[in-house]
Amino acid sequence: MTISGVLERLESNVDQLAESEARVARWILAHPQEVLSLSVRELARRAESSQAAVTRLCRSLQIGGYHTLKVLLAADLVRQETDTVYEYAEIQPETPFQAILKGFSQGVQTSLRATLEGLSEEQLARVSDWIRGARRIVVYGVGASAVVADDLSQKLLRLGYPVNRFTDFHLAAMAVALLEPGDLTVVVSFSGETSEVLELAELVRQRKVPLVAITQFRKRNPLIELAREAFFVTATEPTPRIGATTSILASLAVGDALALYLANRDATRAYRNLKSTEDAVRSHRPGS
């Protein structure tokens, strides 16, 4: 099965890496279990490369560091060891449910940690500048990604930003057609290959409006090519799967981080708008 973790990143990107990094990547792919017990120096020596190349490889893969790489690798290996007769690896009726739940918990923790460690304050600052200066913000996501688009738009709305969230492509396309330079579009797609998302992203590019993507890191992710900025989501999920789980939770965490950054950057405005929106619905809360 395909894993949306570090092994998948290595496999899909090895041909685009510098040779010193590619040697490390190929060694990891050939000896994944051994890497877990190796230091950076030992890995570099066995791959006939350098410690600097290991560090650059982590950076190229948008991974926070060597320790995070090993955490992600361990999660990938645990999932690969799962032996199931079902096409959907998450269906394991012979496995005690507590063991399944523990594996799920570990996957969630790994995804959240790797995703949040991969965020940079510089990138959050650039995107927050666009949000604060936008006359209109369009947020778009379909399928499971619509959950993330909903949550992000609700947070931006409460903070007082002019946001419109769409799941219908036609409505989103019409909204994008009215955008002007200085406005902003945020799209959510873990795969980066959803046809509606890519079509909308192309419309945004034509409008010369910044596009922010929340997606996975892959060299061949077409959404990244169309985005001005991309927040990368790390998720350890089997394919096919029952439904998006860790990828959704990690994507939600990206939106949370952005909202936290915005709120702390302009605390007075955030407090005023959060208080106003809370007061507006207070009468619908029990005991108010």
- CATH number of the domain to which 244 belongs: 3.40.50.10490
CA 114/CA 68 separation, integer angstroms: 6
pLDDT at residue number 83: 45
Same domain (yes/no): 33, 144: no
Tell me 286's DSSP state.
Answer: T
Digit-coded pLDDT (tens) for 165-190: 999 999 999 999 999 989 999 999 99
pLDDT at residue number 217: 82
Residue that terminates a domain, selected from 57, 81, 105: 81
pLDDT at residue number 5: 67
Digit-coded pLDDT (tens) for 66-114: 888 887 787 777 666 554 444 445 566 666 778 777 777 777 887 888 8
**Contact yes or no for 29/54 (Cβ under 8 A):** no
SS3 245: coil
Residue 22 lies in a domain: yes
Number of domains in the chain: 2
pLDDT at residue number 1: 31
Six token digits for residue 186:
């945020």
The domain of 154 spans 121-280
137 pLDDT band (50/70/90 cuts)? very high
Output the CA–CA distances (angstroms, integers) from residue 130 to 51, 241, 251, in the order listed. Answer: 37, 35, 20
Residue 163 lies in a domain: yes
pLDDT at residue number 88: 47
Output the CA–CA distances (angstroms, integers) from residue 3 to 34, 91, 239, in the order listed. Answer: 19, 16, 7
Mean pLDDT of 254-275: 95
Give φ, ψ of 163 to 5 degrees: -110, 145
CA 106/CA 102 separation, integer angstroms: 6
Count CB-CB contacts under 10 A for residue 111.
27
Instruction: Tokens 């190229």: give the residue.
Output: 60
pLDDT at residue number 63: 81
Same domain (yes/no): 133, 272: yes
Residue 112 lies in a domain: no
2 pLDDT band (50/70/90 cuts)? very low
Residue 109 lies in a domain: no
Residue 222 lies in a domain: yes
pLDDT at residue number 98: 81
In terms of pLDDT, which residue wins out, 172 or 15?
Answer: 172
155 pLDDT band (50/70/90 cuts)? very high
Same domain (yes/no): 239, 127: yes
**Contact yes or no for 233/191 (Cβ under 8 A):** no
Same domain (yes/no): 42, 172: no
Q: Which of 42-56, 67-81, 85-99, 119-133 has the lowest mean pLDDT?
A: 85-99
Half-sphere exposure of residue 252: CA atoms within 13 angstroms, side-chain side: 14
Same domain (yes/no): 136, 266: yes
**Contact yes or no for 251/188 (Cβ under 8 A):** yes
Residue 182 lies in a domain: yes
Same domain (yes/no): 137, 250: yes
CA 115/CA 112 separation, integer angstroms: 5
**DSSP count for the chain of H helices, then E strands:** 14, 7
Of residues 23, 223, 13, the one with CA closest to residue 5 = 13
Residue 105 lies in a domain: no
Q: What is the CATH number for 74? A: 1.10.10.10
**Contact yes or no for 239/89 (Cβ under 8 A):** no
Count CB-CB contacts under 10 A for residue 220.
12
Same domain (yes/no): 71, 203: no
- Is the link from the previous residue into 162 a cis peptide, with omega within 30 of 0? no
Of residues 57, 82, 81, the one with CA closest to residue 6 = 57
Instruction: Tokens 């009726």: give the residue.
Output: 93
Tell me 218's DSSP state.
Answer: -
Digit-coded pLDDT (tens) for 213-261: 999 887 678 999 999 999 999 876 655 555 567 889 999 999 999 999 9
CA 143/CA 222 separation, integer angstroms: 18
Residue 50 lies in a domain: yes
